[in-house]
């Protein structure tokens, strides 16, 4: 279950009368599964891409070739499945397309209780960030509705198109010099292989 943090943040929040929670990776995953009417998460990568798109990601992510990856979140998802809180169903031809992650009956009860607790509290994210629980739930809901079901090629296309915008999510994961280097590579690649980039969303 969600636990209050034993640190200076908890002491400050206690003095201000603010109920403060620090969520574990499994609890973040449960909140995503509970969002949008408890609709199933389509593909394990959706957990990683969705949380990486948060204004303040609750995990440390490492960039892989086609996506971002959180070892902590990966282990948490495996744990929820082994606990019987989440069921995994293969979707597509011979289960080759993607997996659906759905809350079990036991998972529905735990996720609903967690969401109610988060809604009436403030959530600690990272070292110094506090956010109203209701706003955290709202952001997770909106992100799930936006990105759940999008395949990696669609998500990658979205990220690449934002590399020259002010809403560049890569700034959360790379230094300024790294982004400048990636921007140069992307512009060069785009000018020579625009047909390939266009085909990404059709995969």
Q: What are the tokens at 62?
A: 């490492």
The 10s digit of each residue's pLDDT in 48-78 is 989 998 988 998 888 877 788 999 999 999 9
Give the closest residue to 84 by CA, choosing from 105, 57, 100.
Answer: 105
Q: Is the pLDDT of residue 155 over 90?
A: no
Question: Mean pLDDT lowest for which of 62-71, 104-113, 151-160, 185-194?
Answer: 185-194
Q: CA-based angle 54:35:146, to the nearest 5?
A: 50
pTM for the complete prediction? 0.77
What domains appear along the chain, each with residue ranges and CATH number? Answer: 8-149 (1.10.10.10), 151-203 (no CATH)
The 10s digit of each residue's pLDDT in 87-100 is 999 876 544 567 89
Q: Which residues pair with 127 in a beta bridge?
A: none
The 10s digit of each residue's pLDDT in 160-180 is 777 777 777 778 778 888 888
Task: Name the residue with higher pLDDT: 182 or 38.
Answer: 38
């Amino acid at each position: 279950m969600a636990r209050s943090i034993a640190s200076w943040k908890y002491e400050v929040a206690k003095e201000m009368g603010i109920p403060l929670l620090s969520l574990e990776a499994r609890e973040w995953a449960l909140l995503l599964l509970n969002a949008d009417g408890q609709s199933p998460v389509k593909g394990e990568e959706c957990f990683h891409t969705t949380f990486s798109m948060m204004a303040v990601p609750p995990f440390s992510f490492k960039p892989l070739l086609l996506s971002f990856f959180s070892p902590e979140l990966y282990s948490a998802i495996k744990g929820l499945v082994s606990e019987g809180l989440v069921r995994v169903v293969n979707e597509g031809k011979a289960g080759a397309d993607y997996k659906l992650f759905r809350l079990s009956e036991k998972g529905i009860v735990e996720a609903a209780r967690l969401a109610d607790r988060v809604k009436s509290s403030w959530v600690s994210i990272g070292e110094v960030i506090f956010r109203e629980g209701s706003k955290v739930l709202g952001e997770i809901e909106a992100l799930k509705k936006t990105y759940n079901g999008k395949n990696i090629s669609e998500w990658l296309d979205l990220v690449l198109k934002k590399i020259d915008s002010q809403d560049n999510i890569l700034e959360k994961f790379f230094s300024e010099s790294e982004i400048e280097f990636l921007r140069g590579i992307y512009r060069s690649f785009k000018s020579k292989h625009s047909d390939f980039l266009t085909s990404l969303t059709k995969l």
